[in-house]
């Protein structure tokens, strides 16, 4: 910190000296000396005029006219210089000059104290986490690249408004970036193109929630129900429909739906931690034992889903989307999905299987450092 203030003091002195020197030089310029310099220039012009006449570039009348004008300027300059020489000489440094020299560095110092952080201690190089800083810079560059790709996609969609997969991809990116209003606008374009597509219905419903104060509205519930009709096991639709019941004060019905969701879900499903937390919180609100709820007959008839340890293959919609995308768009989609998984795991860290899937995804993206970190989080996660 002491070194910082020493440097500020030295820079301030240098600035003051430069201002003093400049203003002093301007005030001490001898008008006669300046006039002598200007007269020398005009004499050179007269000599050049004689050479032009000798070479035939100017006739006698043109030369006479130009010579008269130059001589007039010389006389005017000489008279002005004589008048200035007779005036009393001003002080080398006027109060205004002194004020400017002192106010400039002072204003800079005040601005730094107000807007800067003079209390911030020095950080020796040995104490810095260089690896973390490098990762942060790399992540910022990566985010900038993805943002540029999204902007190109948005520009492309202006000329291709019927590109369903493009709108879905753009909505995914905006959702990952937390730009909820733009995500909703993009997925609404997709819904206008394919109002009965289950995947579009699901994403449209999810995009509505953060724009409506995190309330599962009647519109969102309708969309979830339509999506659920196409896939009765869809965990996202079931989760949010149960949440809608809880928000409508049907807490018991919400708990029952979440209990059913646990039964029909794979035993290692990553969303189970969140569902169990909701059941515990809702049961506490009702003052009942969570174990008093049992799966419904419908859920028992459906039975549990297979394990999610081996991720299912891509859906038909995913394959169609991949064929219609450029290489950059596919890369942006993959990174967006990976980032969503990483964000969810930060909120629900007790998911070792999720951390392992994230580690594998990072390896595919050649981000070995992040993959190793995800592996470590998987080992440390509570089961």
Q: Look over the chain and give the mean of its residue pLDDT values, rounded to a whole number.
A: 79
pLDDT > 90 fraction of the chain, expressed in percent and rounded: 27
pLDDT at 53 over 70: yes
Higher per-residue confidence, 294 vs 304: 294
Higher per-residue confidence, 34 vs 132: 132
Instruction: Name the pTM for this structure.
Output: 0.52
Mean pLDDT of 87-94: 52
**Domains in the chain, CATH or no CATH each:** 2-86+93-115 (no CATH), 132-308+316-378 (1.25.40.10)
Mean pLDDT of 253-281: 91
Give the pLDDT confidence score for residue 33 in this predicted structure. Answer: 57
Give the pLDDT confidence score for residue 119 in this predicted structure. Answer: 61
Mean pLDDT of 191-204: 93
Q: What is the pLDDT of residues 163-188, one digit of tens each?
A: 998 899 899 888 888 889 999 999 99
Structure tokens at 78: 């000489």
pLDDT > 70 fraction of the chain, expressed in percent and rounded: 74
Q: What is the pLDDT of residues 332-342, one digit of tens each?
A: 666 767 777 78
Mean pLDDT of 182-196: 94
Higher per-residue confidence, 192 vs 110: 192
Q: What is the pLDDT of residues 2-51, one digit of tens each?
A: 666 677 778 777 877 776 666 665 555 555 556 666 777 777 777 887 88
pLDDT at 315 over 50: no
Give the pLDDT confidence score for residue 25 in this predicted structure. Answer: 58
Structure tokens at 184: 């909703």
CA distance 290 to 360: 35
Indicate the range of 96-100, 199-203, 219-223 predicted with least confidence. Answer: 96-100
Give the pLDDT confidence score for residue 312 in this predicted structure. Answer: 42
Mean pLDDT of 91-120: 67
Give the pLDDT confidence score for residue 323 in this predicted structure. Answer: 53
pLDDT at 235 over 90: yes
Neighbours of 198 (CB within 10 A): 19
Give the pLDDT confidence score for residue 96 in this predicted structure. Answer: 66
Give the pLDDT confidence score for residue 110 in this predicted structure. Answer: 77
Q: What is the pLDDT of residues 371-381, one digit of tens each?
A: 888 888 888 87
Give the pLDDT confidence score for residue 24 in this predicted structure. Answer: 62
Give the pLDDT confidence score for residue 104 in this predicted structure. Answer: 73
CA distance 383 to 381: 6
């Amino acid at each position: 910190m002491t070194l910082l203030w020493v440097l500020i003091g030295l820079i301030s002195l240098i600035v003051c000296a430069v201002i003093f020197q400049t203003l002093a030089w301007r005030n001490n310029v001898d008008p006669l000396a300046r006039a002598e310099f200007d007269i020398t220039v005009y004499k050179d012009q007269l000599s050049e005029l004689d050479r032009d006449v000798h070479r035939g570039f100017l006739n006698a009348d043109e030369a006479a006219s130009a010579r008269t004008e130059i001589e007039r300027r010389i006389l005017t300059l000489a008279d002005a210089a004589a008048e200035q020489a007779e005036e009393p000489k001003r002080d080398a440094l006027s109060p205004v000059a002194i004020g400017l020299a002192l106010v400039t560095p002072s204003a800079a110092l005040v601005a730094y104290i107000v807007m800067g952080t003079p209390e911030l201690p020095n950080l020796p190089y040995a104490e810095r986490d260089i690896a973390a800083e490098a990762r942060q810079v790399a992540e910022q560059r990566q985010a900038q690249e993805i943002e540029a790709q999204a902007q190109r996609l948005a520009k492309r969609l202006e000329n291709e408004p019927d590109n369903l997969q493009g709108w879905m991809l753009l909505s995914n990116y905006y959702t990952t970036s937390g730009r909820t209003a733009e995500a909703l606008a993009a997925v609404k374009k997709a819904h206008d193109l394919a109002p009965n597509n289950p995947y579009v219905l699901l994403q449209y419903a999810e995009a509505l929630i953060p724009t409506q104060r995190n309330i599962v509205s009647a519109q969102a519930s309708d969309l979830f129900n339509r999506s659920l009709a196409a896939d009765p096991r869809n965990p996202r639709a079931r989760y949010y429909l149960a949440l809608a019941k809880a928000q409508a004060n049907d807490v018991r019905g919400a708990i029952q739906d979440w209990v059913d969701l646990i039964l029909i879900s794979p035993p290692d499903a990553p969303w189970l931690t969140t569902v169990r937390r909701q059941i515990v919180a809702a049961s506490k609100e009702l003052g009942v034992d969570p174990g008093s709820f049992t799966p419904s007959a419908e859920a028992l008839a459906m039975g549990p889903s297979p394990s999610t340890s081996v991720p299912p293959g891509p859906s038909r919609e995913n394959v169609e989307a991949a064929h219609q995308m450029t290489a950059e768009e596919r890369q942006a989609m993959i990174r967006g999905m990976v980032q969503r998984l990483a964000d969810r795991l930060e909120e629900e860290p007790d998911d070792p299987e999720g951390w392992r899937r994230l580690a594998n995804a990072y390896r595919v993206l050649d981000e070995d450092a992040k993959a190793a970190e995800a592996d470590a989080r998987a080992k440390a996660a509570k089961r």
